[in-house]
């Protein structure tokens, strides 16, 4: 009996020693979860640094490769511009039958009537004045391959303008100028398309002495450009195209290429025509070779200022209507 008790005591002591050893070993070992967390933390940090480096490289590449973009603008901003349609000036029937009514309306302050009269008189300016002039014009047209079509148009125009004398036809500029001064964008565009030669001849200035001739002609050109600029700032694509062309010729004041570049940018921003966009995008690429970086910056600055004015005025006159 005593022997059994001794065996049990020894076994109990051995069990206690094993249990204490196990507890001590467990306490001294680093937790497996902590090691895993350290590894995960390092991995996440390392990945974040790699992403940051990639983003830094991408941003750096964009800054190097991306030149100054087109004027900052969105379709939403352009949709805030109200598209204005020009008045229809071609009349049904003959002009003579409606001219007096239009003149009365114009005299009473109807600016649209001024524009319609101006466009009709200008249309008739190049039409044959009498039967003899008609026959001469038809003979000239007969020399072309599409003579029937051309002769038909000449005859139609002659009948439409019949009864309108040369003196009345020469008044197209007076009515155009009145409408333009009173804010008609369509009239301003129309004056912008009148050449100096047509103005001087139609208004009776072609026989002036040289110095006076130059003075009158230059005043007309300055006025034409002012009207075009006013029309352009009211969103006229036609006026912007004309201003771009005039300045690109380098014959209308300093910094012609810079101004032309700026007007081209505005056209790209505002036009809804793919054809016009493609044409002026190509022109802009060519203009880059003619301008310094400072001149290009000046052109962008000018176009951005004008775009703010156009958006403030809130109107858009497309080239197509």
Q: 212 and 295, same structural domain?
A: no
Q: 241 and 162, same structural domain?
A: no
User: Residue 297 falls within a domain, yes or no?
Assistant: yes
Q: 303 and 220, same structural domain?
A: no
Q: What is the pLDDT of residue 147?
A: 75
**In degrees rounded to 5, what are phi and psi of residue 82?**
-85, 120
Q: 182 and 95, same structural domain?
A: yes
Better pLDDT: 63 or 303: 303
- 87 pLDDT tier (thresholds 50, 70, 90): very high
Q: 254 and 316, same structural domain?
A: yes
**36 pLDDT above the threshold of 80:** no
Q: 296 and 206, same structural domain?
A: no
Better pLDDT: 265 or 25: 265
Note the pLDDT tens digit of each residue in 101-132: 999 999 999 999 999 999 999 999 999 988 99
Better pLDDT: 176 or 19: 176
Q: 245 and 160, same structural domain?
A: no
Helix (H) or strand (E) holding 115: helix 111-125
Better pLDDT: 206 or 52: 206
3-state SS assignment for residue 126: coil
Place of tokens 């001149």: 295
**27 pLDDT above the threshold of 60:** no
Range of the domain at 246: 234-321
Task: Tell me the mean pLDDT in the region 74-97.
Answer: 85
Task: Tell me the mean pLDDT in the region 131-149.
Answer: 83
Which residues, listed in sequence order, are joined to residue 236 by a DSSP beta bridge? 317
Q: pTM of this prediction?
A: 0.75
- 150 pLDDT tier (thresholds 50, 70, 90): confident
Q: How far is CA 303 from CA 98, 238, 242, 264, 299, in A?
A: 43, 16, 15, 9, 6
Task: Tell me the mean pLDDT in the region 305-309.
Answer: 97
Q: 249 and 173, same structural domain?
A: no
- Cα 316–Cα 319–Cα 321 angle in degrees, nearest 5: 85
User: Residue 18 falls within a domain, yes or no?
Assistant: no
Last residue of some domain: 201, 231, 261?
Answer: 231
Q: How many CB atoms neighbour CB 235 within 10 A?
A: 26
- 253 pLDDT tier (thresholds 50, 70, 90): confident
Number of domains in the chain: 2
The two three-digit tokens of residue 295, written as one number = 């001149």
**47 pLDDT above the threshold of 70:** no
Better pLDDT: 135 or 232: 232
Contacts within 8 Å (CB) and 24+ apart, 240-248:
240/266, 240/267, 240/270, 241/267, 241/276, 241/319, 242/189, 242/192, 242/193, 243/192, 244/280, 244/283
Q: 176 and 93, same structural domain?
A: yes
Q: What is the pLDDT of residue 24?
A: 53
Q: 241 and 170, same structural domain?
A: no
Q: 101 and 180, same structural domain?
A: yes
Note the pLDDT tens digit of each residue in 273-291: 999 999 999 999 999 999 9
Q: 98 and 115, same structural domain?
A: yes
Task: Tell me the mean pLDDT in the region 142-163.
Answer: 86
User: Residue 64 falls within a domain, yes or no?
Assistant: no
Q: What is the pLDDT of residue 6?
A: 53
């Amino acid at each position: 009996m005593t022997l059994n008790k001794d065996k049990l005591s020894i076994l109990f002591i051995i069990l206690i020693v094993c249990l204490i050893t196990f507890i001590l070993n467990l306490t001294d070992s680093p937790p497996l979860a902590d090691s895993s967390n350290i590894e995960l933390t390092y991995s996440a940090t390392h990945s974040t640094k790699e992403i940051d480096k990639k983003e830094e490289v991408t941003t750096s590449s964009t800054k190097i490769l991306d030149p100054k973009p087109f004027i900052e603008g969105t379709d939403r901003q352009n949709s805030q511009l109200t598209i204005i349609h020009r008045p229809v000036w071609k009349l049904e029937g003959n002009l003579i039958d409606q001219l007096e009514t239009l003149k009365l309306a114009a005299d009473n302050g109807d600016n649209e009537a001024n524009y319609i009269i101006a466009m009709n008189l200008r249309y008739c300016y190049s039409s044959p004045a009498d039967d003899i002039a008609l026959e001469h014009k038809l003979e000239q047209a007969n020399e072309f391959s599409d003579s029937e079509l051309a002769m038909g148009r000449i005859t139609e125009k002659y009948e439409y303008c019949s009864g309108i004398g040369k003196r009345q036809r020469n008044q197209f500029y007076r009515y155009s100028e009145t409408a333009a001064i009173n804010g008609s964008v369509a009239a301003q565009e129309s004056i912008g398309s009148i050449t100096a030669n047509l103005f001087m001849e139609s208004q009776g200035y072609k026989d002036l002495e040289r110095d006076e001739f130059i003075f009158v002609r230059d005043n007309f050109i300055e006025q034409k450009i002012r009207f075009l600029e006013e029309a352009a700032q009211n969103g006229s694509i036609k006026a912007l195209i004309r201003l771009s062309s005039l300045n690109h010729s380098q014959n209308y004041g300093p910094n012609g290429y810079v101004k032309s570049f700026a007007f081209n940018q505005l056209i790209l921003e505002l036009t809804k025509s793919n054809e016009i966009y493609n044409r002026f995008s190509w022109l802009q690429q060519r203009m880059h070779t003619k301008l310094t970086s400072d001149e290009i910056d000046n052109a962008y600055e000018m176009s951005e200022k004008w775009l703010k004015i156009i958006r403030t005025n809130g109107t858009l006159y497309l080239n197509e209507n």
